[in-house]
Chains A and B, each alone.
Chain A
């Protein structure tokens, strides 16, 4: 049931939402939608605005298209366009509104309407020649803001605000100044605050995480503390226990962008998932270097699988093109007829890419789960040693490896499917691992490719397919989706951990300038003061945050990782017994781990492994467990999900992509489940508290007559 207004991102009925958000509004005028006597908006801007933000123009108008229609003020600042409904006031706590704000970066298209003419405004050198009656702002996050200006002497203001938006938008494009605004919440909380999710900016975080995963054979390496191995790598990462930092330093130099093999995740069953860039084939490693590389890749396992993460997956250009086509298709005025919708959707190829990612991730999770081994995600293993690097520079460890590694973790372990687990997963595999968010989301004017959005779509597919396996809900994914361009935290506004760290030094001054009355935290705590995207309270109300939880989540469903397999005897001495390359859905044996020809390679894997005929077309899962196909249900290891990736199983994320077309919005069953859950907890409470001998009449009357189960079923 969808009882919020159509086209809104949350399932909250708008009537309830308003008094909560606009605390100052008296209850009495709730019913009247008459615009209040207009005060200069700068007065209401005094509170709740971001440091350094200036109002450029404003005009009164009515928001259309969404339910309910609201009258208010359209304001353009140097950071965002915001529609401020009458009587609604920004609270100090939630300075960025997920509902009414459009960051300038987020504006994908701007249209002005006057009479029958409708003009695209964001063309260079465009001059508005008429007074707009209505303005349409299309967000790149698929939202749409439609504001109808009021007539009656205020037309110049409508003109001004429109021009201001055009100019401000142009300026952000020119400057490319993504300062990132942080806020001081120090006033509210005394002492250093703990980030809601470990930000992995200190070695303690990494050590704690390592312990939690039970990765006993690994240690935290501080070799990149000064970012001198790679700026795109986090300052700390995990390497095998017995690998020395000097070896790490030398070995990493032979990988593309200095991104050598690091542990991504330790499977509770004993396998290790590693990721690294491609071999830098032009380099000439010494024997010791090769030995170090091999032992890092092997990670103490006797079975090593290198996974090619280029084959069968879209290139960055593909992702970008598909996303652009998808956006065009989902525009409210897209001219695709309903009976041609399906082929148009297919034509975007977006779902095709989602499908190939899911498929690859599913294979990887099978590899990790089926036996104890080391699985290395690598961009491309050169088929033959080539003197010139054949690597496409746009394909590095920083994009699809993160996507696959995160998806594989979501599929194989239920820890990652909790709300906290997922956030730390994103923080670890994307933010800390150096995914170039700024570039990929179009912030630097080239190499744009929304890989992260592709990932979110994949996660949504999983959520669709396994509605009871995830603690977070679709709303949470939407919130994350909408947060990537909000200029309030640095999480998604930098390309590398190095830049992010560099910037956080400057924030101290911001904090000092704009919150003079607050007690200053000691400088050493600057890192802790840094806000991240995971501080949801910055943008979302409590009510909205409550909806981040999936009501259908059934944690008892998956028993605690009772892996029957014994923990492998870690650190097998000697060479691995088998080395495979996994590419195109097939495993081919390799006779060496590194492509450089070196007779003294540790791996004396005999070549007689090589000529293996392809005799089976069984799926990887079938091969791995070797089960007869008419085996009953549930032979899978606990916790492992095998996603569907056939045409009929891949769906369009309507609630996200079709937000601009509210007529297509459809609801979930959430209230039914929540109703049931309320009833359950009520009854349980009732039974638990039942004092012996007390009459039950008063208890039964407390039951809400509106509960959906008020009639016995």
Chain B
């Protein structure tokens, strides 16, 4: 291994290998000789994981910039991950190790997390795929969680290079079969292990009981019922095993178009209004079939327009809302801002940061999603109508919009348990095709659209704007977005009956026989101490109402239900703007309104009124929550997107600083409360002095807990003349000679 030679006195003694054109001068390679020689890092394999190929003497760049530093180690590829085994774990501080993922290490890349692989051939970068004729001297791996790895293969044996590069490319870039997912080999290997009950973490919605519980919770049980396709119907490909439909819906209609064209219940609002979704009927050319479809739909609409159902407003998400194509293009552009190969590149783009950000239009897409959700919230909350979301498959934009509406309207969805249940209900059971959208199987790159990430980003905006309203933190969201690519959890590797070769029966059989893990069991990935970072210290649980109050609420609620068709336009809200209907307001606000909505004018007024009146009042964090939609309020989710860029961290700063202060205070309050409690019980006099709570002395990085373990480096645009050499006054004389020598050269 390189780096064995040479004592402590500078690397100049190490000679570069003559067979390679070296542009990394060996003396610049900062390797800690002792550790390389003495510490052999072992590969940690998960149960069922198999080592496929490996290469030694690979140099991993610590930070790819002009001062190239690296660590030597072994690059391995298994059927689960690509891993680099180096020795740089020794630099981990105690605070950082606290947030260690138990499944995926710092230098591990799961195969599903690989986004793009580039090779460097004689200083030229090329994307690698398929069969290679020539093997690169440097490998650049872009990950879907926006990490960028640089591996130098120049000092590696040629056959090892061939094996590792083609192995990595084959296992990350070629299509694979569903049954070949690591998920199953892992589950098979851990069969004897007793998994914790998933119901502790989230409502899984895989039984009728779960749906019944949700209906009961939202008081939707009066008008909607949970059904199951196995109840004597023929299997419908589009439908989950269990779902909820209006009670009045004729049962034979459900299976008529394989689940297309029937309204599925998502959620009921406190006033009885419901959010429904429906996938469009297949497009037909034949007039006769069209006629049948039309009369079928008419029948459906008649059913759900009749009492006891409220008036239904249809919201067609596939025609005048976002397209998946737009989302894909925007994210491709957006992520390029963060997937940077070296710091110099970052500095080049930095000066135009805002316009680059804007031109990606990712933030605008977020804004449009939040706005759509706000509009629907207004319909449910203020106009007292049911909303029916329409989409071709009802499993992409429908999932975003309906989950956002629930996060905004239902405080239960802002707890961790509720949020996990929501994802389980709307996304996992709702049939969002994670396999295609995350391109887990590498079948079709065009299908890869970060729909779920878009949802998480929208939730992050809400969380960022109203921190006390959420039980979980942004760290939780970031970790959740990372878990999308860890193939040991079935949650995001659950194909909704797409694969014809695997029928529902066989898949279910496979899943049932195996002991599949759910991502909601966070203890698989994180120690309890690390999990405390998921809990928002600012969140306060809803104060429990006493019984009399609760009774009153229920009574009121039922009364509302009995009068479904009286269009009780929430009258108190009406008055709010009445006096402001003078010309000026129209004139002043008109411009802003037109910016916000593009539908008819009356709707705009309703929406604007609703939006303004909510924002003019102090928010109730246990009630309705609306986002700010203005230009300055939609932000970049810095923790997720910037966490691997060392320049972007602020030592001892950022929200983290405030948070850790808060946590400290919480801890102090807790110990004090304990002491008070103790005194109350034991009346014995104790020393009155309060021991000070232990304080963090380290300054955390603003990107904590993800910060790369690098010091903030403030890079000047132009190179500084090296003055590092200028040491203390004593050795000035010594050094002067060196400088003379340099000058002579």
* Chain A bound to chain B: yes
Interface residues of A (CB under 8 A from B): 1-3, 6, 67, 113, 115-116, 118, 133-134, 148, 302, 332-333, 335-343, 345-346, 351-352, 359, 362-363, 366, 465-469, 552, 554, 556-557, 577-578, 580, 584-589, 608-609, 611-623, 626-636, 641-649, 652, 654, 658, 661, 663-664, 666, 669, 672-673, 676-677, 679-680, 683-684, 686-688, 690, 692-693, 696, 699-700, 708-709, 711-713
Contact of A627 among B652, B711, B742 (CB under 8 A): B711
Q: Are A676 and B669 in contact (CB under 8 A)?
A: yes
Q: Are A629 and B69 in contact (CB under 8 A)?
A: yes
Contact of A687 among B353, B683, B684, B688 (CB under 8 A): B688
Q: Are B587 and A67 in contact (CB under 8 A)?
A: no
Give me 10 A-to-B residue pairs in the complex whose CB atoms sit less than 8 angstroms apart, sorted by A's number: A337-B631, A466-B650, A467-B653, A557-B695, A614-B722, A633-B93, A634-B651, A636-B711, A643-B650, A647-B357
Contact of A133 among B62, B584, B662, B680 (CB under 8 A): B584
A194 to B729, CA, bound (A): 47
Distance of A624 from chain B, by nearest CB (Å):
8
Does B673 belong to the interface (CB within 8 Å)? yes
Distance of B378 from chain A, by nearest CB (Å):
16
Q: Which residues of A contact B91 (CB under 8 A)?
A: 630-632
Q: Which residues, 578 to 597 on B, are CB-close (under 8 Å) to A? A: 582-584, 587-588, 591-592, 595-596
A337 to B596, CA, bound (A): 9
Distance of B621 from chain A, by nearest CB (Å):
9
Nearest B-chain residue to A113, judged by Cβ: B584
Does B289 belong to the interface (CB within 8 Å)? no
Q: Are A634 and B699 in contact (CB under 8 A)?
A: yes
Does B649 belong to the interface (CB within 8 Å)? yes
Distance of A595 from chain B, by nearest CB (Å):
20
Does B676 belong to the interface (CB within 8 Å)? yes
Q: Are A686 and B710 in contact (CB under 8 A)?
A: no
Residue tally, chain B, CB below 8 Å to A: 119
Nearest A-chain residue to B732, judged by Cβ: A577
A683 to B718, CA, bound (A): 55
A687 to B93, CA, bound (A): 36
For the complex with contacts A617-B716, A629-B646, 17 further pairs of A-B residues with Cβ separation under 8 Å are: A67-B616, A363-B716, A466-B650, A580-B723, A586-B719, A587-B723, A613-B722, A615-B722, A630-B69, A633-B699, A642-B651, A644-B702, A649-B650, A666-B633, A673-B665, A683-B672, A693-B683
Distance of A114 from chain B, by nearest CB (Å):
9
Contact of A669 among B638, B653, B658, B673 (CB under 8 A): B658
Q: Can you list, as one digit per residue, whether each of B703-745 has a CB less than 8 Å from chain A (1) or not (0)?
A: 0000101111111111111111010010010001001101100
Q: Which residues, 614 to 631 on B, are CB-close (under 8 Å) to A? A: 615-616, 618-619, 628-631
Contact of A613 among B718, B724, B742 (CB under 8 A): B742
Interface residues of B (CB under 8 A from A): 30, 62-63, 65-67, 69, 88, 91-93, 95-96, 346, 350-355, 357-359, 361, 363-364, 367, 465, 467-468, 538, 540-541, 543, 582-584, 587-588, 591-592, 595-596, 612, 615-616, 618-619, 628-634, 636, 638, 642, 646-655, 657-658, 661-662, 665-666, 668-670, 672-673, 675-676, 679-680, 683-685, 688, 690, 695, 698-702, 707, 709-724, 726, 729, 732, 736, 739-740, 742-743
Q: Are A619 and B716 in contact (CB under 8 A)?
A: yes
Q: Which residues of A contact B95 (CB under 8 A)?
A: 633
Compute the total of residue contacts between A and B using a CB distance below 8 Å. 327
Q: Which residues of B contact A664 (CB under 8 A)?
A: 628, 630, 632-633
Distance of B295 from chain A, by nearest CB (Å):
42
Q: Are B616 and A6 in contact (CB under 8 A)?
A: yes
Contact of A341 among B351, B352, B632, B698 (CB under 8 A): B632
With contacts A586-B720, A676-B665, A696-B680 taken as known, whether A628 is within 8 angstroms of B713 at the C-beta atoms is no
Distance of A700 from chain B, by nearest CB (Å):
8
Nearest B-chain residue to A609, judged by Cβ: B739
Distance of B221 from chain A, by nearest CB (Å):
30
Distance of B251 from chain A, by nearest CB (Å):
46
Q: Are B719 and A617 in contact (CB under 8 A)?
A: yes
Nearest A-chain residue to B685, judged by Cβ: A692
Q: Which residues of B contact A615 (CB under 8 A)?
A: 719, 721-722
A676 to B587, CA, bound (A): 44
Distance of A150 from chain B, by nearest CB (Å):
13
Q: Are A630 and B88 in contact (CB under 8 A)?
A: yes
Q: Are B615 and A6 in contact (CB under 8 A)?
A: yes
Q: Which residues of B contact A577 (CB under 8 A)?
A: 729, 732
With contacts A338-B367, A466-B652, A696-B680 taken as known, whether A618 is within 8 angstroms of B720 at the C-beta atoms is yes
Q: Are B632 and A619 in contact (CB under 8 A)?
A: no
Q: Are A469 and B652 in contact (CB under 8 A)?
A: yes
Q: Which residues of A contact B710 (CB under 8 A)?
A: 629-631
Q: Which residues of A contact B662 (CB under 8 A)?
A: 672-673, 676
Q: Are B718 and A586 in contact (CB under 8 A)?
A: yes
Contact of B714 among A362, A588, A708, A711 (CB under 8 A): A362
Distance of B654 from chain A, by nearest CB (Å):
7
